[in-house]
């Protein structure tokens, strides 16, 4: 991964949870394809109890672009399933 951000973002998803588009730094990016999708438990044991039932972090590496004519890039999005919050993990070059 090239640059790492870790910034909260707004994401629109399909019914199955895959991202359709996301807004970051004032621009809306459209997901062209999902290149990778994986899931990891977060370090729930470092957190105060009670633990979430699903301490899942879901990751999508997507090809997306900020609009027609804009170059497509590879973006890594993360969703904390317990909190529902999205984050832009980074941009792959």
Using CB under 8 A, list all residues that contact another protein.
36-41, 43-46, 48-51, 53-56, 59
**Shortest distance, CB of residue 43 to another protein, whole angstroms?**
6
Please tell me the distance from the alpha carbon of residue 92 to that of residue 86, in angstroms, as a whole number. 17
Q: Considering beta carbons, is residue 5 or 59 the nearer one to another protein?
A: 59
Q: Considering beta carbons, is residue 55 or 73 the nearer one to another protein?
A: 55
Q: What are the CA-CA distances from residue 45 to residues 42, 52, 61, 90 (Å)? A: 9, 10, 27, 25
Q: What are the CA-CA distances from residue 89 to residues 3, 48, 51, 69 (Å)? A: 9, 24, 24, 24
DSSP letter string over 20-31?
A: EEEEETTEEEEE
**Shortest distance, CB of residue 25 to another protein, whole angstroms?**
27
**Shortest distance, CB of residue 19 to another protein, whole angstroms?**
16
Q: Considering beta carbons, is residue 6 or 48 the nearer one to another protein?
A: 48
């Amino acid at each position: 991964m090239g640059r790492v951000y870790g910034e909260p973002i707004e994401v629109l998803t399909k019914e199955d949870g895959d991202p359709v588009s996301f807004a970051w730094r004032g621009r809306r990016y459209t997901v062209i394809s999902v290149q990778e999708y994986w899931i990891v438990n977060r370090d729930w044991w470092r957190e105060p109890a009670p633990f979430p039932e699903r301490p899942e972090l879901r990751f999508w590496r997507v090809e997306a672009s900020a609009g027609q004519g804009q170059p497509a890039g590879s973006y890594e999005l993360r969703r904390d399933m317990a909190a529902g919050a999205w984050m832009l993990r980074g941009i792959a070059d």
